[in-house]
């Protein structure tokens, strides 16, 4: 564009904050140390937090950065799980090939969703993605020859190397670190900035000459790609899939995790996932009405911290820095 403006430091929003890399390293190291202090059941829970954190992050790419919240990502996530389990159990493929097929399937489904949804926004986008998710759920429920219907499908998906809880956890942690970094670079890239521009004002972006539907299509598909990775990891974690994995409740849970952590904060997704999974498991040990407790907690978050937990943290830190 114009000639080089000056030699001063890059603007705060685009570059990496100065302390970010060491903080990230400390967080990853702490996470890697968890299996040494937690019981194997809790390590399983931590693995779930990572997997659903990736799902919530993928939803955040669209919700936080493109301004379009999707209620169909559970279906995209679940399609990957189904394909991975089917590939292993019925087609006998090795884990790596099954994983690749799962992610591919999820990306394809996301592309199809995207084609239909990119020209809408706001409530319409929400409803359209919800409906598309329901179609996927209906197919998984009724196509019993392939998906097993209500019974679901079982498979020995997890590769032999990763059979222990800790081993699998570290593999998932490595995957989560790489995927988070990839997503972080994606939203920080010029493409990501365009998405943010679309979120802020679609008409302005269009008048500047950007192909808004194409950008949203690519953004949606990339988001689906990451959701597919989460789904494939879930297949390995559970060795089982049923229609509830593609159901609306799964999409809603992903959106809740994103919101609880903080829309647009990206890493808040892990915090949100941790909060919700911890709550589910802790509370359901005491009462079967844990969903009520979840609902009340959510209301409290919305009243006291609508920007999510990480969002609230940022606001507090910003005040302190002043």
- Contact residues for other proteins (CB under 8 A)? 39-42, 44, 141-142, 144-145, 149-152, 154, 238-240, 242, 244-245, 281, 284, 288
Q: Identify which of residues 149 and 213 has a Cβ nearer to other proteins in the complex.
A: 149
Q: Identify which of residues 64 and 133 has a Cβ nearer to other proteins in the complex.
A: 133
| Residue whose C-alpha is closest to residue 269's, from 280, 282, 279, 254 | 254
Least separation, in Å, of the C-beta of 307 and other proteins?
Answer: 29
Least separation, in Å, of the C-beta of 188 and other proteins?
Answer: 35
The CA-based dihedral angle spanning residues 280, 286, 290, 292, taken in that order and rounded to the nearest 10 degrees:
-140
Least separation, in Å, of the C-beta of 36 and other proteins?
Answer: 17
Q: Identify which of residues 240 and 298 has a Cβ nearer to other proteins in the complex.
A: 240
Least separation, in Å, of the C-beta of 239 and other proteins?
Answer: 7
Q: Identify which of residues 172 and 195 has a Cβ nearer to other proteins in the complex.
A: 172
Buried b / exposed e over 209-224, threshold 16 CB at 10 Å, is: eeebeebbbbbbbbbb
Q: Identify which of residues 137 and 186 has a Cβ nearer to other proteins in the complex.
A: 137
Residues ≥6 apart with Cβ < 8 Å to 169:
34, 35, 43, 44, 46, 47, 50
Least separation, in Å, of the C-beta of 38 and other proteins?
Answer: 11
Q: Identify which of residues 216 and 256 has a Cβ nearer to other proteins in the complex.
A: 256
Least separation, in Å, of the C-beta of 228 and other proteins?
Answer: 19
């Amino acid at each position: 564009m114009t000639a080089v403006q000056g030699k001063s430091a890059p603007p705060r929003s685009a570059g990496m904050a100065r302390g970010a890399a060491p903080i990230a390293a400390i967080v990853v190291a702490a996470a890697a140390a968890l299996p040494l202090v937690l019981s194997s059941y809790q390590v399983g829970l931590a693995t779930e937090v990572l997997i659903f954190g990736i799902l919530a992050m993928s939803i955040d790419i669209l919700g936080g950065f493109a301004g379009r919240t999707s209620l169909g990502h559970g279906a995209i996530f679940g399609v990957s799980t189904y394909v991975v389990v089917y590939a292993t159990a019925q087609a006998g493929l090795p884990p790596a090939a099954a994983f690749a097929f799962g992610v591919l399937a999820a990306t394809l489904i996301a592309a199809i969703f995207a084609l239909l949804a990119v020209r809408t926004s706001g409530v319409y986008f929400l409803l359209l993605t919800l409906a598309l998710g329901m179609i996927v759920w209906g197919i998984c429920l009724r196509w019993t020859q392939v998906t097993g219907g209500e019974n679901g499908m079982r498979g020995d998906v997890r590769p032999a190397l990763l059979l222990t809880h800790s081993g699998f956890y570290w593999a998932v942690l490595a995957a989560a670190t790489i995927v988070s970094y990839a997503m972080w670079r994606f939203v920080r890239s010029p493409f990501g900035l365009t998405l943010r521009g679309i979120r802020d004002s679609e008409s302005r972006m269009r008048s500047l000459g950007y192909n808004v539907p194409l950008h949203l299509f690519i953004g949606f598909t990339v988001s689906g790609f990451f959701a597919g990775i989460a789904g494939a990891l879930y297949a390995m974690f559970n060795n089982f899939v049923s229609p509830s994995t593609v159901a609306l409740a799964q999409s809603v849970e992903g959106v809740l995790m994103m919101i609880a952590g903080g829309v647009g904060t990206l890493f808040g997704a892990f915090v949100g996932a941790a909060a919700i999974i911890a709550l589910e498991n802790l509370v359901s040990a005491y009462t079967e009405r844990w969903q009520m407790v979840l609902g009340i907690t959510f209301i409290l978050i919305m009243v006291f911290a609508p920007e999510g937990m990480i969002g609230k943290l940022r606001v507090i830190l910003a005040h302190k820095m002043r």
